[in-house]
């Protein structure tokens, strides 16, 4: 199964390092980040889960709940967490799903047979409160993910869900944004009272409206 943007993220029940969960119940009204890693006790994954744990407050202030997944068993996850905490100077405090039968991996298309027939690749899904897929990113096993980029995209997703704007290349929180083409130029002052610039008729910018 290949999930695309706008698809409903499948619900599932799973065993995790923080007990049995129902995915939808776990998310509640929050945003979610679900990401897979190829295997426990592997070096790149150790740094990824450590970085995620260290960014706990950043995810929390964005109302984002995080879950990780691999096809290794629960006892292996629990032992590995000790190594992650020790080597990355963190405390892993989010659930890691034990997906031994690959149920969740198959639901979300996390196994790419041409890369590996048995292990999940580095898939990441951002899921909105409406349970729809808002972002998918897939990295090869050899490349660790940039979780600051994940946070940047979540900032953009949450902003553009609330206002009629888009974010330009390399945008960071607090920078000017683009007024979407559906908004007529004459309507911009009422919608965006902080002011705007007309660079081209199709390219209008305004200060970030919620700052």
Residues annotated as part of the active site = 45
Cβ contact 153:167 at 8 Å: no
Nearest-angstrom CA–CA distance, 31 and 36 = 17
């Amino acid at each position: 199964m290949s999930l695309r943007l706008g698809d409903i993220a499948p619900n599932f029940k799973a065993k995790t390092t923080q007990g049995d969960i129902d995915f939808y119940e776990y998310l509640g009204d929050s945003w979610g980040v679900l990401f897979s890693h190829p295997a426990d006790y592997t070096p790149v994954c150790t740094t990824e889960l450590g970085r995620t744990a260290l960014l706990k407050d950043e995810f929390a202030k964005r109302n984002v709940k995080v879950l990780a997944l691999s096809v290794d068993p629960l006892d292996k996850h629990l032992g590995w967490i000790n190594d992650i905490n020790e080597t990355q100077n963190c405390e892993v405090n989010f659930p890691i799903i034990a997906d031994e039968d690959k149920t969740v991996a198959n639901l979300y298309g996390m196994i790419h047979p041409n890369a590996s027939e048995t292990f999940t690749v580095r898939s990441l899904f951002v899921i909105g409160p409406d349970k729809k897929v808002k972002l998918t990113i897939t990295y090869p096993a050899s490349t660790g993910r940039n979780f600051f980029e994940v946070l940047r995209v979540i900032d953009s997703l949450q902003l553009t869900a609330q206002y009629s704007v888009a974010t330009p290349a390399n945008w960071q929180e607090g920078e000017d944004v683009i007024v979407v083409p559906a908004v007529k130029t004459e309507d911009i002052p009422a919608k965006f009272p902080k002011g705007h610039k007309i660079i081209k008729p199709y390219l209008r910018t305004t200060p970030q409206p919620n700052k």
